[in-house]
Chain A
Amino acid sequence: MPQTIASLPQEIRERYPYTSRFLTVNGRRMHYIDEGDRDAPPVLLLHGNPTWGYLWRDVLPPILSAGFRAVVPDMIGMGLSEKPHDHRALTLDNHTADVVALLQRLDLRKVTVVCHDWGGPTGLGAILTRPDRAAAVAVMSTWAWASPASEFHQRVMPWRYMHAPLIGGYLLGRHGAMPGRGMYLSVVDRDRFRAEASAGFEAVLDEPDKRAATWIWPRYIPIGRDSDVTLPRFDWLEAGVARLELPASVIWGREDDVFPAEPFARRWHELWPHAEGTHYVTGRHFLQEDSGAEIGELVTDFVRRVSRIGKAG
């Protein structure tokens, strides 16, 4: 019996009051929510590590109130989706193919893809694979290239320890360092996060075997070392993304020190000179925790304008 939103503690259900849905992608059970009018312009919100759809809980109300359709999957290995023990299900390419499968299975068209963290490489990889499906893209605290790499990701302490052989499995797997303490360190209002949000991320990663993706996923971040196994994929991503002519919006946390606005937000504008923003909000890497409603308004306004363009065209 898969875990659902309805099976989570009341305080989490109340903050994410949506209906759990499931479909299979590449043979794995993916959890997602699909809210709003099915005929309305769809918005696909993609999370990264170690989060799940719950990350978007304060972003969603403005989008839904404006009459748009919101689809929020939990990536395989995260949230309420299947958490395979086989690490080979958790490669960047398989995660990306999972998003492609989701686009197809739900027959999403003219979708605005909103990307955070790994939602960037996976969502943009999916858009490049199915370019006819996307209408627009919004990015926040994410990337789609090998260089420049994040200084945070290149540092031995703490980041490279966090996914080093055996050590990653101990710190992040056995002891769950990412959804609790790790996120806590990457928000601005830590007291509020601890009181209101942390439990929602820890509840779905409550056993060591469920947390494999949290220490496997970081290994796919290229950091300029021989161990970079995704370099060709990121080179493909960067080249493809640079050719995308979709309406784009860049939203960033002022206090982001995982993907600092300089150079990361700037890099998006170099790739997409037509992109709007950068819209700065209060926030570190998990900027939705500090500015979820404001981000929701920014995304809603963006989708509203994009939809008008689409209708006019």
Chain B
Amino acid sequence: MSSVRRVARPESPMRSVPLLSEHNLGHYPEFRQFFRDEFGLASAPFAAPPVLAAGQGLYELVFVGYSGQPFPAGVEINALVPGLEPLDEDAADAALGSILLWLVDNLGGDWTADGLQTVAKIYRVPVPAKASAAAAPSGPADRLSRLL
């Protein structure tokens, strides 16, 4: 899942397009712990949403809290789209698949990229193969990564 990486937030105006909303990261606490560790949320819970580059697009992670629950309680994944350009829906869906593969690959334990791909295959849900997930990106995300 090398195609997914953290990048700087673009300076140009971007529109957030909600793609996937999770209200209960604590359902399996290792998911919440991963995000806490990966993005330093214990020390900076209200920092600007981190941005991931996946495929040719950019995706922000907005962490959500609920009173009385460990932070983050949830996370929203939004596509960042320039101006009023329409979302490339197929690319966004493939990017979500890549982000999920990146997530389970980093989680380890019960969660593996092979496992997710197998389940997706059983239920005929498109999830990028490892090879395509590692494809070199181009476009805005690539340009940003070269700037880092």
Contacts and interface: CB of A to CB of B under 8 A. Distances in A.
Contacts of B42: none
Nearest to A229: B27
B123 A157 contact: no
Contacts of B137: none
Interface residues of B, number: 33
Interface string B2-37: 000000000000000001111111111101100000
Nearest to A166: B22
A87 B123 contact: no
B22 A162 contact: no
A87 B119 contact: no
Interface in B59-102: 75, 77, 93, 96-97, 100
Interface stretch (A28-36, A128-136, A173-181, A196-204): A173-181
B20 A169 contact: yes
Contacts of A177: 123-125
B27 A219 contact: yes
A174 B96 contact: yes
A267 interface: no
B120 interface: yes
Interface stretch (B48-56, B109-117, B128-136, B138-146): B109-117
Nearest to A158: B119
A84 B106 CA distance: 32
A174 B20 contact: yes
B96 A181 contact: no
Contacts of B125: 170-171, 175, 177
B115 A157 contact: yes
A140 to B, nearest CB: 24
A161 B116 contact: yes
Interface of B: 19-29, 31-32, 75, 77, 93, 96-97, 100, 103-104, 110-111, 115-116, 118-120, 122-126
Given A160-B110, A165-B75, A174-B96, 10 more contacts: A87-B24, A162-B123, A164-B31, A164-B111, A165-B24, A165-B32, A170-B97, A170-B125, A174-B93, A182-B123
